[in-house]
Structure 1
Amino acid sequence: PPRGGGGARAPGGCPPPRHLAHPPEPDDVRRALREHPDAKGMLLITPTDWGTCADIAGVARVCHEYDVPLIVDEAWGAHLPFHPALPPWGMDAEADLVVTSVHKMGGAIEQSSVFHLQYDRVSPEVLAQREDLLGTTSASSLVYATLDGWRRQMVEQGHDLLDAALRRAERIRAAAADMPGLRPMGREVVDAGLAASFDPLKIVIDVRELGVSGMQATEWVRDHCHVDLGGSDTCRISASVTHADDDHTEEVLLGALRALVEGAGSIERRPSVRLPEPPVLELEQAMSPRAAFFAEVEHVPAERAAGRVCAETISPYPPGVPVIAPGEVITDEVLDYLRSGAEHGVLIPDAADSSLRTLRVVRTVS
């Protein structure tokens, strides 16, 4: 669950909550496995979009105590095996299966992802069959070529390339910290016990002191500086530094941040997003996702949706993490959060009605 600390200053000088979800800790996983003895495995997402990382080895030990496999979604971790100053790679931390999107922090083209498998809790035959079921029979030779090229480049030059990227990221973070209204996140999240480790190549900056949201900051930088940032949400923006960056791209990013600080006063203020407390996001699961998705459904006005079972996935983007999944019971608090986000300009691409004036729910039987 999200935990507090950091960010813009609240009245009285106390830092407000980050409103940032960090990965679960081993004790969280142990508690969940005790509550759900029929669980078949554990899916752990680390690093997060914001660079915070889980204690993979600790979670793996808990999973293996219960004889269930640990599957790590390491989409943002293609670079992790190639430099000791980076967070641990899942395969070095006893995960059973690691899925890596090499196109994100690596040097391969879009859709270049790989499986890493070890131990005997996941059958390689079953994994191959499931992949065949979902994958294309017309695989791209370009994808395979760039994957192979990336692997060779990292083996031969990875340490030096990433060493330079790490130094560059620290320069950018230090420069951003000197700009009024910007608060970059760093190792303080680890020192405070909020995350097991942190990827320093993620430049995550709280912009609330500028009086704008991260989404507004991203739009302004794109429109005025022709720079696309990697991610944003209500509180912050983020950029990724990789082995491919150089002095020019470093200065382009810093120039965009300076322009944002100078131009933030001209950004139109929008209605604020009413962020909920973390427990509010833990909704009751009344039906399985599959049963709810394929059930008889109806569309109801948002004002009458509380208490109904959702029949769709609703994911504000960025970062694209579902707030409501099929089978969960909709609440007034979550509706307030989502609808205020839509009014602010948050994209909700997967809802049947992206304005959230109506919601798709399971039809009730009278």
Structure 2
Amino acid sequence: MAHFDTLTDFIQQTEAQFRIFDMGRCISKLSPDTFRKVELGQIPFPKPFLHQAWIAILMWNPKQASENVVWFLKLPLDEQGFMVQAARDDFLNRLLQNLTNSMGKGPLDQPTDATEYRDALKDNPFSFTPDQEKMAAFHATATLTTRQPASSFYDGAKQYFHGKADLNHWDSLGYQGIADYVIRHQQGNNEDKLAEIFGQLPDTPLEACCTFIEHIQPSAPLSEAIRLRLENSVSEGKVSANQIGALLRAISQCPEDEQKIAVLTRVLQSPYGTQAEVIAALASRCWASLQYPELLQQFLETLAVNDAGQACFNRVMADLMFIPTLRALTLQQFRAADRSEALSRAIGGMFGDGFL
């Protein structure tokens, strides 16, 4: 059986076109060079999530782009965010064995097309299936990447978000259509139209939009529309914590500026700040903003008195302290002389539970 040092090396020897995506906190491109360095243990995984590297590998034959193959993988990371080499080797060995068995030829033999790799992850413990939201976003990303048409629901979504339908008549919108519309934000004037209408969207289409906006880099007008909707929702205090969480997911990819930090601070200082849905969105999606010491301090103080108690504090910190930059900043805050008694108790409870 052929030997490969890395999964990247294996993929590159095929005739298929391919892209690697980080599927953890949000869907983002991961260069083959970066992923190969992660595999070789030269650098930690850039954005670990729940102590693992969640990735998708999209492969296709340029002559048959619609016949693509996707591998969804979750590979364990050590306490410093480096890939566990033994697990990666185990995965690769299983992959090569499956291919040898299913193709009836060695892995170095060139495939007829990319679809020969479709069943390569059968019974592989390192594979996973994304949830509905992530799958819809990835499908939209894949068709855009391979220059394939959007789903049949795209036109209906475009009509709706371009203001050519009653905003309250959203029942016929297809979830995949909303994903296609948002992911294709740079086509036509999709993003400008979405920015114009964002403040008026009813709850359901608004929250659906937000779950897909977290996978793009919003323009300045759309970023401002998201910020204003979040700020107004917090001020009025009438929407659900789920909707605040959705808006936090949308704002997570907006530029890191003073206005963004200010509205995140307002969320934490509001009654929404201690609710689990809001904490989860801030920690998992807005982690880059938490690198601002003032916001991190406010976040830790609010987290210490969260509605779900010590278990929630422990879970959130276990994830955040896996990110190298946040680990160092968090430990600084833990040692701060002016931390509250509540935070001191939460820290004591965390270490008392064998956190580290």
- Structure with bigger helix share is 2
TM-score by length of 1: 0.28
TM norm structure 2: 0.29
